[in-house]
Amino acid sequence: MIDNPKTGMTLIVKTITRLTVGLILLFGIYIILHGHLSPGGGFAGGVIVALSFVHLMLAFGKDVAISKVSKNLASNLESIGALMFLSIALLGFLGGSFFLNILPKGTPFNLFSAGIIPLCNIAIGIKVGVGLFAIFLTLVIVEKSK
């Protein structure tokens, strides 16, 4: 990561951020994936994923954060997340009714169980995470309008 001493916070904050940003992102993905086994799921995990990007922006300044996830990428990923959720729900039509749980359900308390619920959690996690970061970008980068 570029270490420009003029932007962002002090050296101590930047060093700790380099160590912890990956861990926060991994923790968020863990909460999204285990949404059907422990509390959390799509919304809460998505917020933690967004917070990792916000942490990056706070410590290093907005240019580094925008180079990782730009505004166009955020907007496109958000729409893709919503369309993924809608198409998973439409797959239920193959089984009978809208939003039916059609994938095999497996044994309880395993990671690969409970049908379509982990897939829905992943779609919501992508959408909420990227969407919250896009809101933050829009509020911080205020273009001067007349």
Tell me if 67 contacts other proteins by CB under 8 A.
Answer: no
Among 5, 10, 104, 139, binds other proteins (CB under 8 A): 139
Binding to other proteins in span 79-118, by CB under 8 A = 79-80, 82-83, 86, 89-90, 92-93, 96-101, 109
Considering the complex, state which of residue 3 and residue 112 has its C-beta at the smaller distance from other proteins: 112
User: How far apart (Å, rounded) are the C-alpha atoms in residues 34 and 111?
Assistant: 7
# binding residues, other proteins (CB under 8 A): 31
∠ at Cα 90 (84, 92), nearest 5°?
120
To the nearest whole angstrom, how small is the minimum distance from the Cβ of residue 108 to other proteins?
8
**With binding defined as CB under 8 A, does residue 70 bind other proteins?**
no
Structure letter (DSSP) for residue 96: S
Asked if 128 is part of the footprint of other proteins (rule: CB under 8 A), the reply reads yes
Q: Could you list the residues that contact other proteins (CB under 8 A)?
A: 38-39, 43-44, 75-76, 78-80, 82-83, 86, 89-90, 92-93, 96-101, 109, 128, 132, 135, 138-139, 142, 144-145
